Amino acid sequence: MKTECLIDLLAQDDTPPQAVAPRLFLWSGLALLGSATVALSILGIRADLVAALGDPVVLMKWLLPLAIALPALRAALRLTRPQPRRVPAQHLVAAALAAGAIWLILSMLAAAPGTLWPEMRGNSLVICLTTITLISAVPLGLGLMVLRAGASPAPMRSGGLLGLGVGGLSAALYALHCNEDSPLFFLTWYGLAILIVGAAGALMGRYLLRW
Amino acid sequence: MGHDGGEAGPGWSELMRAAMAGDRPAYRLLLTRMAPVLRGLIRARAGGMDDGWCEDVVQETLMAIHLKRATWDSDQPLRPWVYAIARHKLVDAFRRRGRAVHLPVEDFAETLEAAPEPDGIERRDAATLIDRLPARDAALLRCLALEERGQAECGARLGLSPGALRVALHRALQRLARLRQEDGQ
């Protein structure tokens, strides 16, 4: 096709371009609410939620995942633009992940001999991992579809950041049910679940977000 | 150069703002002005690839500019955004050729415009690529571009209302961009 012909065609297509951010919030947000509502209506919300929110250590079950998720979503949105500009939010994500890892290592070192694994394993690690990843599945998929309209300079990183964002929000929602409050438990399994969703996002982003 | 000036009339950013507000002649003018600049930019970095290959990259860049224009922050000048798209498309085209390239971003500034595309250098046969689209998309693009008929006539021929034609054209261009990208991988 001659370049002139192509320009002719492009100039005729006046479908207004759609911004990515509002659609991401709409689709992934709705899907996240839907998935979390289903999960929580099956599992139930912990009875002592208000008391748990008052305990600073337990409060970290919400704050830490949110500290990963919010900057990750911000960075993923920033990376929908093609210019390789600075993306400061991704350093906040790294910092939050590092803080969680350091806290986990310190807790492991401080655990009394013989109690480390029982405490870490808790009673619900399988439910925890599967629920967080399942809550994330549809919002992540829809979010990737929306991000396809973007022009990421780094598709894998974009997908990974979206995954960390969705995974973090899912973990915070799952924490409304989960009553295992040992840092050894939630740092390990919430962290692992968020990383699984992040890895899934990165792998899919690598293919889906190429343009 | 390096600014939006250098040519009489409104600059690129201004034209794009008008285009995004629905001004089709402004959009066509913008794309027409961009093409030779992109051609110069890409040929200068093509490292011995022939003009047909370069023209493909120019076209892929124009399609990406069109389909991704929502990712331009309209408070910023348009040119750096355009160059980022061109650079991405050039790196991608090299990668499909199995060549890794390093194109420093800073280096991706203005180059002299290349001469207008000589006739008959397009490497990929337009017909073949368009034929790989779904039949209705192919018929629409053929009617609008290759036969250069107006939207009204093409709509009547294909039984599309003006609104349906707009949607169909947009989807067809998206599919064409994807096909072009997959082609040769």
Q: What is the pLDDT of residues A118-157, one digit of tens each?
A: 999 999 999 999 999 999 999 999 999 999 999 999 999 9
Nearest CA-CA distance, residue B69 and chain A, Å: 7
What pLDDT, on the 0 to 100 scale, is given for residue B5?
Answer: 45
For this complex, say whether ipTM is above 0.85: no
User: Which residue in the set B59, B88, B166 is minimally distant from A3, CB to CB?
Assistant: B59
Question: Range with the lowest mean pLDDT among A132-141, B9-18, B31-40, B128-137?
Answer: B128-137
Within a domain: A168: yes
- Residue B1, pLDDT score: 42
Is residue B88 predicted with pLDDT exceeding 60?
A: yes
With contacts defined as CB-CB under 8 Å, which chain A residues touch B146? 1, 5
The per-residue pLDDT of chain A, averaged, comes to: 95
End-to-end CA distance of chain A: 20
A100 assigned to some structural domain: yes
Residue range of the domain that includes A52: 20-81+88-208
Query: Which domains, ranges and CATH numbers included, belong to chain B?
Result: 7-122 (1.10.1740), 124-185 (1.10.10.10)
- Judge whether A195 lies within some domain: yes
Give the Cα separation of B152 and B62 in Å (integer): 25
φ, ψ of residue A106 in degrees (nearest 5): -60, -40
Locus of tokens 């970290």: A60
Contacts of A84 in chain B (CB under 8 A): 84, 105
Position B185 confidence tier, pLDDT thresholds 50, 70, 90: very low
Percentages (nearest 5) of helix, strand, coil residues in chain B: 65, 0, 35
Interface of B with A in 75-104 (CB under 8 A): 80-81, 84-85, 88, 92
Which chain A residues are within 8 Å of B92, Cβ to Cβ?
A: 210
Would you say B139 and B160 are in contact if contact means Cβ atoms under 8 Å apart? no
What's residue B110's pLDDT?
60
Q: Binning pLDDT at 50, 70 and 90, where does residue A17 land?
A: confident
Cβ–Cβ < 8 Å for B50, B27: no
Asked if the structure places residue A74 within a domain, the reply is: yes
Distance from CA of B129 to the nearest CA of A (A): 9
The H-or-E segment that residue B95 falls in is: helix B78-96
Residues of chain A found within 8 Å of residue B31, distances taken between Cβ atoms: 7, 10-11
Whole-number pLDDT of residue B2: 43
pLDDT of A185 reads 96
Spell out the residues 6+ positions from residue B44 whose beta carbon is closer than 8 angstroms to its own. B111, B112
Residue B16: closest CA among A53, A9, A17, A189: A17
Summarised one tens digit per residue, pLDDT across range B44-77 is 988 888 888 898 899 999 999 999 999 999 899 9
The string of DSSP letters for A60-98 reads HHHHHHHHHHHHHHHHHHHTTSSS----THHHHHHHHHH
Number of structural domains found in chain A? 1
Within a domain: A29: yes
In a domain, A48, yes or no: yes
The rounded distance, in Å, linking the Cα atoms of B160 and A200 is: 41
- Does B183 score more than 70 pLDDT? no
Residue A3 lies in a domain: no
**Interatomic CA distance for residues B80 and B57, integer angstroms:** 18
- Mean pLDDT of the residues in chain B: 82
Q: Does residue A46 belong to any structural domain of this protein?
A: yes
Candidates A8, A81, A83: best to mutate against B (most CBs of B within 10 A) is A83
pLDDT band at A59 (very low <50, low <70, confident <90, very high): very high
Out of A2-16, A33-47, B1-15, B39-53, the most confident range is A33-47
Specify the range with the lowest mean pLDDT, choosing from A36-45, A148-157, B90-99.
B90-99
Could you tell me the pLDDT band of residue B129, with boundaries at 50, 70 and 90?
confident
What's at A149, amino acid-wise? Answer: A
Residue B111 has pLDDT above 80, yes or no: no
- pLDDT score, position A15: 85
